[in-house]
A and B are shown apart, each in its own frame.
Chain A
Amino acid sequence: MTVGLQVDNLRYRYGAKEALKGVSFTLEAGAFGALLGPNGAGKSTLYGLLTRLFTTSEGRIEIAGHDLKAQPRAALARMGVVFQNQTLDLDLSVRQNLSYFASLHGLSGRDAATRIDAALDRLNMRERAGEKARALNGGHRRRTEIARALIHQPDVLLLDEPTVGLDAAARRSITDHVHQLCAEDGLTVLWATHLTDEVHDPDRLIVIHQGEKLADGHAGDLRGGADLSDYFLSLTGAQA
C-alpha cells in the first residue's frame, strides 16, 4: 500500500500539560480518515504539528513519502490545508484569493489561471469569481477554501473542523463534497471533527481523547451495530 499520511508516536506538551501522548496512525493513499475527538482532545495540536506551525522533537510525520522534519518544503508542497478559522481575505475577490494562494505555491501566469478556472468550475462559481469573498455565505466560503487548498494538486488534504459555524445543509454538502473528492481523485484526507454524523461507515475512523488514540479502524466495524455517536460517547466517557 502507498502511504498518504503517517504519524508516528507523536508527542507534544505545553509546559507541564501533555497535549499529545504518543499518537500514531497511518492513512493509505486515497483514504478518508476521520479524526474524531471531543474538544480539547489534541486535534488542533496535531494539526499544528502536521502543518508545521510548530514542531516537536518527539515523533515523526510523513506526508506523501516526505518526512516533514527532514524535507519540510517538499512535504508542505504535497499538502493542502483548510484551517478551522476562515482564512480568506474578505475584501479581495474570490479570484484574487485563489490567485494569491497559487502564487505562494509558485504557480503563476497561464498555469495558475487554468487551475483557478478549473477550481471555480468545480465550485460552479466561475461567474462569481469577481465578487468579494465577503459576499459569499459561510458554506461557499468554505468551499472556496477547499478549492483553494487543492489548486496545487496536493496528495494530502488536511481539514481542521471545517464545518464549524455552518448550518446543517451546508455542513452536509461540504462533508459529501470532500468524501467525493477523496473517492474520485484519490486524495488522502484527514478530517478532524467532533461531530459523529460527518463520519461515513467506510471511512477510516481514528478516535482521540485527552491526547491518546482510543480507537482506529473502519467506522462501520468499530461501531458494530451501535450508533456511532453512542459508540463515541461510551468510548470517551469511559476514559473521562
Chain B
Amino acid sequence: MNIYLTALSAIVKREALRFVHQRERFIAAMVRPLMWLLVFAAGFRAALGLSIIPPYQTYITYETYIVPGLCGMILLFNGMQSSLSLVYDREMGSMRLLLTAPLPRWWLLFSKLCGSTAISILQVYTFLGVAALFDITVEPWGYVAALPALLIAGLMLGALGLALSSFIKQLENFAGVMNFVIFPMFFLSSALYPLWKMAESSPLLRDICAVNPFTHAVELIRFALYLRLEPLALLWTVLALVAFMLLAIWGYDPERGMTRRKG
C-alpha cells in the first residue's frame, strides 16, 4: 500500500479506536440532539405551523423537520470538538507527532479530517436509528442517499474546526467557540426553522441564514434524506469545504509557525 493510504487508514483507525474508548463522549454527543428532538421539538410542534415545502410531499411534524438540522448539529459539534481538542496541550502532543510524519502537511490534515468525519457520520446514523425507534423516519433509501451529503457536510464543518484550531491561540475552554461559532451557525440556519418562516420575522436574518454554509449543509442533508439533490446547497457546501480546508492548511503552514507558541 502506498504511504499516503497507509497513513490515511492509520489516522482514521486511530480516531475510531479512540472513539470506541470514549463512550462518555459518544453518549454526550447523542444526548444533545435527542434532547432537541424528543423534548424541544415536541414542545415546539404546537407553536410552529409548517406548510408543505420541498422536499416534503405532505404535511410533516416539526420533529420530522428538524431531523436533518440535528444531523447537521452532530456534525457541527463533532467537527469543532475534535479539532479544538487539538488546542489543548494533551492533544497538541499527538498533533506534533502527526506533523513529523514524512508526508505533506495538507495530506496529514486531510487524513485527520477524514478520521473525525467518519466518527461524526457514525454518530449521525446512531441518532437516525434512535429517531426511527420513536417513529421519526425518512425515506428508506434516504438513509443511503444521505451518506455522501453527510460526508461533504462533515468534512466542511471539520475543516472549519481545524482552521479555527490553528488560529485560536489561547482557548481556555469550549465556551468561547460555543458562543461565537456554534450557536450563531446553528441558530442562524435552516436547522430549526425554514427560511421563509425566518423571513416573516426579519428579512435581514433570513439573508444571513441564506449565506451561512451550515444552512446549505443542512439543506443538502435534508434533500438527500428524501432522495433529492439540491445543487445550490451542494455547490455552497463544497465551496465552503474548499475555503475552510485552504484556511486550515495555511493556518498549519510551518512558515506561519502556528505551533510555535508551544515552544
Contacts and interface: CB of A to CB of B under 8 A. Distances in A.
Interface centre among A55, A103, A107 (most CB of B within 10 A): A103
B102 A103 contact: no
B147 interface: no
Contact of A92 (B18, B96, B103, B255): B18
**Interface majority SS (helix, strand, loop, mixed), chain B:** helix
A154 to B, nearest CB: 10
B6 A103 contact: yes
Interface string A59-82: 000000000000011101101010
Contacts of A45: 260, 263
B258 interface: yes
B201 interface: no
**Interface majority SS (helix, strand, loop, mixed), chain A:** mixed
Classify chain B: how many residues form its interface, as a range: 35 or more
Interface stretch (B62-70, B87-95, B202-210): B87-95
Contacts of A91: 17-18, 21-22
A114 interface: no
Interface in B218-263: 254-260, 262-263
Classify chain A: how many residues form its interface, as a range: 35 or more
Contacts of B260: 14, 45, 48, 53-54
Given A54-B258, A86-B93, A81 B100 contact: yes
Contact of B13 (A76, A100, A105): A100
Interface in B41-92: 89-90, 92
Interface of B: 1-3, 6-7, 9-11, 13-14, 17-18, 21-22, 89-90, 92-94, 96-104, 254-260, 262-263
Please give me the 10 A-B residue pairs with the lowest Cβ-Cβ distance, nearest first: A103-B10, A106-B3, A54-B257, A91-B21, A104-B101, A77-B102, A87-B93, A53-B259, A85-B93, A76-B102
